[in-house]
A and B are shown apart, each in its own frame.
Chain A
């Protein structure tokens, strides 16, 4: 137990270091963007008539002060950490003066909900069926899944999403193709809203599951195909261990370790959002916010998304690290 605590403490220190450097790098990369948020706003405003050069300069001075984008980059860096320590990342510039964190927290539940569900479903289905296909290599049904997985995997996501859109929104219009929920329901804790959210999530999540399934299926099948040739599996079979136990406790459990690590990495993608999904299905979420923020030179919002992403991915990997010794005796021995 003591060794495990020491292991966890080391990993926790690594977590803090990764977060510090990750966030710092994100800050400097973001601030190297050539897009000037003040100029962006000025362009929007002054494209209308009535603005002389003097008027434009007056606006520039006012906006620079309002946005707080004056001062050197180092001063802004220190300021950033000062604000971050209080959970404040400053005002969004594409939605000034709304705090950037408010925008992130408004968009995040949609993306997390959709992607977490889709990724978990994809992971569970892909690994379960892939594992069985790797073990029962002559099963026709599982072979058929393999054909589907290999057929769908190379298709670009956009095409699959578009096909779903045409199929269920146009040819057989039974599912909503746009938005997070219907216009005639009251957002909140009520059944019509929850059902509407679920209904609107079906097409985007189906498209994600369909595309993601193949990768996990093929990966797991390959892993299990190798493991079944290992001596300990042959020994277990010869020793008369029950088939279910061999499959789930010996084979798939071992094969799941690298898949679990890969899952943690994939979960990180949640925070960069499903940009294409959100575009195709007009689905609310963090991906669209991030694109808007980058295009609008909204460093505060880009940093808010990045910081949440870095922190979350680092924590996810930290948790996987803590689970590893439980799943894999070799890690435990270390």
Chain B
């Protein structure tokens, strides 16, 4: 009987391999063919799950192919990049464009000068025809990713000569170039000489991708969990060359990795950069591995992402119509509790609706400190100054016994890491605000003007720091007389877009980060995006906030000169003041990303001491990191 069991096992295992081989061969993809020299290979974690269409490289069709697989970081290119941090040589990079965009006086025309001497990976020269083809094809092909963006904004596009493109716009817009400005993603340029030969672009997989970036596809997992890229021999004919030669000969992106696997693989030398960890995972790996570090050299380690988790009210829900109610809920919260519960203290708090990342602390948080300290709020019964400028310092002292020397001591450094300040918890003032909004109190329970108990549901994601943030806030509000239920909602995004929520925890703000201009998210707040209650709306202005003053401000931004930084910063500060008055959502903190970087094989990563790039390696501008890395073995 024993031999029968063994035979059955062998047959099954053999069948398994056979099936797997069959599945791979049927996919027909080019296989990896050699061992990769580790000292020449950079291995990165891609946060995407399994890539359902691993052989799909046509990034202009949303078809389940990965984007953070290295495709948009290493192969694609477009006109400009904006770094969420300080950049190698400033925040703005001219990439395929050789200069910033030139607009006419009324912002109805945009002219772009293109870089010369740039070549596609198959040897064809990049010219204005590629840009014109990209735009015209998208306008002519509904369903392509950027077709809507172009067909509703572009009147016509033409090649003035081989290296100049002129856009005529349907309406004045001084920020049209944003479509071609990469922070995480943007409208990538298509190779005209290839796509012009394709009959049906929507079903074309671009299986042998040709790109403008410094790497080409080496091989990939037909099951969609890893991609290998190889440096082009002619990398000096790409736009990255201006900043140096990318150091790794090979770059591997690995996706669908749970946190435990990431930690183990980094310790085993099979990962150089982890995109994100839990706070506990990060604390653990920097403590145990001498060659692993985070963005900050010590606590809180994490990189403040240019996104801003917040409590988002549904303004079409009558419970939140009155700004006094929104302010009351803000003043019931306690910043230290929020920080400790979500990030175990490693949070960078923000009282204003701009994430404290990149250059924003210099443009907004720092310069607006006096204004915030002196900000007065009329509760209806008294006037208070709700801002506490020292919350960050208090949290630093709170975690110092646990993390000791890892916690910075310099005050400015603490403010950068822990935030400049937040609202002081003031239950009495919150009560005054609610009373002046017509609420009453029965015991500890607040009652709405219609006599019903005041309570609501807050949608929270299934896991992670934001889940913890929502849970602790719900508890705090409940303790203070507002019955709040935290509902774990795996479908939080579709429900948000459908307006099917009372409050949710998430982010409604993503900024450039390194650039002071706020148009990237501010334009989303225009009331033109707000749908009727119960109707789905675009992934914009999720709180459905309508404010004529805000609309006027946004329209002014649309017609202001992008390069006029002074004016743009002033318009940004106007937005902050408007937000303070209205408190349409309660900003809490930047979304801190625990990027772990191993210096076992490579060094020269971006850090808080040398913030030349966003360290989050699924962002497309992470390609500039490759030019700054050096192998440790040298």
Chain A residues with a Cβ under 8 A of chain B: 34-36, 39-56, 58-59, 61-63, 66, 92, 94-98, 103, 105-110, 112-114, 116-117, 120-121, 124-125, 128, 162, 165-166, 169-170, 173, 177-181, 183-189, 193-194, 197-198, 201, 248, 279-280, 282, 284, 288-289, 292, 295
From known contacts A35-B491, A180-B223, infer whether A49 and B179 are also in contact, taking CB-CB under 8 Å. Answer: yes
**Contact for A55 among B149, B222, B497, CB less than 8 A:** B149
Is the CB–CB distance between B15 and A52 below 8 Å?
no
Is the CB–CB distance between B494 and A198 below 8 Å?
no
**Contact for A47 among B21, B179, B252, B539, CB less than 8 A:** B539
A162 CA to B16 CA in the complex, in Å?
A: 24
**Contact for B260 among A113, A165, A185, A186, CB less than 8 A:** A165
- B633 near A: Cβ within 8 Å? no
- B383 near A: Cβ within 8 Å? no
Is the CB–CB distance between B202 and A44 below 8 Å?
no
From known contacts A105-B23, A121-B9, A197-B17, infer whether A40 and B494 are also in contact, taking CB-CB under 8 Å. Answer: yes
A238 CA to B476 CA in the complex, in Å?
A: 76
Is the CB–CB distance between B256 and A282 below 8 Å?
yes
* Residue numbers in B under 8 Å from A173 (CB-CB): 264, 268
B26-34, B107-115, B420-428, B466-474 - the one binding chain A: B26-34
Given A50-B187, A52-B152, A59-B148, 14 more A-B residue pairs with CB atoms under 8 Å apart are: A34-B491, A43-B539, A47-B539, A50-B176, A55-B148, A92-B53, A95-B63, A108-B19, A120-B9, A166-B264, A180-B221, A186-B33, A201-B13, A292-B50
18 contacts across the A-B interface (CB closer than 8 A): A36-B494, A46-B538, A49-B520, A50-B178, A53-B537, A61-B142, A92-B64, A97-B202, A98-B56, A110-B16, A121-B12, A166-B260, A177-B261, A187-B29, A187-B31, A194-B17, A198-B16, A198-B17
Is the CB–CB distance between A97 and B148 below 8 Å?
no
A15 CA to B613 CA in the complex, in Å?
A: 61
From B9, B20, B203, name the one whose CB has the most chain A CB atoms within 10 angstroms. B20
Q: Sort chain B's interface into a size bin.
A: 35 or more
A45 CA to B522 CA in the complex, in Å?
A: 18
Is the CB–CB distance between A184 and B25 below 8 Å?
no
Is the CB–CB distance between A128 and B1 below 8 Å?
yes
- B52 near A: Cβ within 8 Å? yes
From known contacts A49-B523, A165-B261, A169-B268, infer whether A39 and B63 are also in contact, taking CB-CB under 8 Å. Answer: no
- B464 near A: Cβ within 8 Å? no
* Residue numbers in A under 8 Å from B252 (CB-CB): 183
- B103 near A: Cβ within 8 Å? no
Chain B residues with a Cβ under 8 A of chain A: 1, 5, 8-9, 12-17, 19-27, 29, 31-36, 49-50, 52-53, 56, 61-65, 142-143, 145-149, 151-153, 175-176, 178-179, 185-187, 202-203, 219, 221-226, 228, 252, 254, 256-258, 260-261, 264-265, 267-268, 490-491, 493-494, 497, 520, 523, 528-529, 536-540
* Smallest Cβ-Cβ distance to B171: which chain A residue: A52
Is the CB–CB distance between B23 and A179 below 8 Å?
no
Is the CB–CB distance between B12 and A113 below 8 Å?
yes
Is the CB–CB distance between A58 and B152 below 8 Å?
yes
A279 CA to B463 CA in the complex, in Å?
A: 15
Is the CB–CB distance between B50 and A289 below 8 Å?
yes
From A47, A63, A162, A279, name the one whose CB has the most chain B CB atoms within 10 angstroms. A47
**Contact for B16 among A96, A109, A177, CB less than 8 A:** A109
Is the CB–CB distance between A179 and B226 below 8 Å?
yes
From known contacts A43-B497, A197-B16, infer whether A98 and B49 are also in contact, taking CB-CB under 8 Å. Answer: no
* Residue numbers in A under 8 Å from B5 (CB-CB): 124-125, 128
Is the CB–CB distance between A56 and B538 below 8 Å?
yes
Nearest-neighbour CB distance to chain A for B407, whole angstroms, equals 29
A116 CA to B12 CA in the complex, in Å?
A: 7
* Residue numbers in B under 8 Å from A292 (CB-CB): 49-50, 52
* Residue numbers in B under 8 Å from A120 (CB-CB): 8-9, 12
Is the CB–CB distance between B24 and A187 below 8 Å?
yes
From known contacts A51-B149, A106-B27, A124-B8, infer whether A178 and B265 are also in contact, taking CB-CB under 8 Å. Answer: yes
